[in-house]
Amino acid sequence: MTDYAGIVHSGEIPDEVRERALQAVLHVAEGTSALRAVRHPLGFLCFPIERHHLGGVCVHVWSPELPGAAPTTSEIHAHSWDLVSFVLHGELWNERVAIVDGESSYRVFEVHSDGDYRDELWATPRLVGCRVLTRDLSPRGSTYALEAGRFHQTLATEATTIAVGMSHRESHDLTLGPVDCGTHVVRRTQCDQRDSVAAARIVTDQVRLRVEWT
């Protein structure tokens, strides 16, 4: 099993974890794997390489060529797990956000997941505003970390990352949504083989399995 705690503590994803994730995506691109991408509510496609109650390993793909899901809330959210992510291709921005109580621009929602494909977003009575604290660029070959409970949003047009997360099972993901929006269900759709292969080939065409790990 992957040493999620060790990876989060070090802030680096080991070469063997990166290679294993890339090999899994290569097999999808070749049509020899049953692994399918999932359309994440935040707009990217996710290949779930490894799932465990302690954490997981995923490949995330942003591309204008791939149809993504439309979020029902904003892209500002806070994980219930610590994340370390390596940028294989492209670049992305992470905006860290401070929550301002006493304002009413957004409603805070708790995300209660039922398996990998169904999220129930509970509308809380908490209304807030937010302020951008930092805006950090992560180019190809860089690694970034996001701690559990930190509100942020990730902005990308075209990028691929390998992400390792360590779960904090006593907490829930949070997201900011419209004030007049109530509790509702969001379903993550699994891509069919054609779209999964297309997403995998975007990764392998760009990375070509010859990434110089830094």
Question: 86-128 pLDDT, tens per residue?
Answer: 999 999 999 999 999 999 999 999 999 876 678 899 999 999 9
Residue 144 lies in a domain: yes
Residue 213 lies in a domain: no
Round the CA-based radius of gyration of the chain to a whole number and report it.
17
Residue 214 lies in a domain: no
Give the whole-number percent of the chain exceeding pLDDT 90: 78
CA distance to 2, 12, 43, per residue, from 189 (Å)? 26, 30, 12
Residue 154 lies in a domain: yes
Kindly report the average pLDDT of the chain as a whole number: 91
pLDDT at 41: 86
Residue 193 lies in a domain: yes
Host domain of residue 93: 4-207
Judged by DSSP in three states, 168 sits in coil
Number of domains in the chain: 1
pLDDT at 214: 39
pLDDT (mean) for 175-200: 94
Residue 212 lies in a domain: no
Question: Encoding tokens for residue 57?
Answer: 């390993």
**pTM, two decimal places:** 0.91
pLDDT at 115: 66
pLDDT in tens, 18-61: 999 999 999 999 999 999 999 998 889 999 999 888 899 999 99
**123 φ, ψ (degrees, to nearest 5):** -75, 120
Using the CB atoms, write b or e for 29-68: b if 16+ within 10 Å. Answer: beeebebbbbbbbbbbbbbbbbeeeebbbbbbbbbeebeb
CA separation for the pair 178, 32 (Å, rounded): 42
CATH number of the domain to which 34 belongs: 2.60.120.10
Query: In the predicted model, is pLDDT for residue 209 greater than 80?
Result: no
Greatest distance between any 2 Cα atoms in the chain: 54
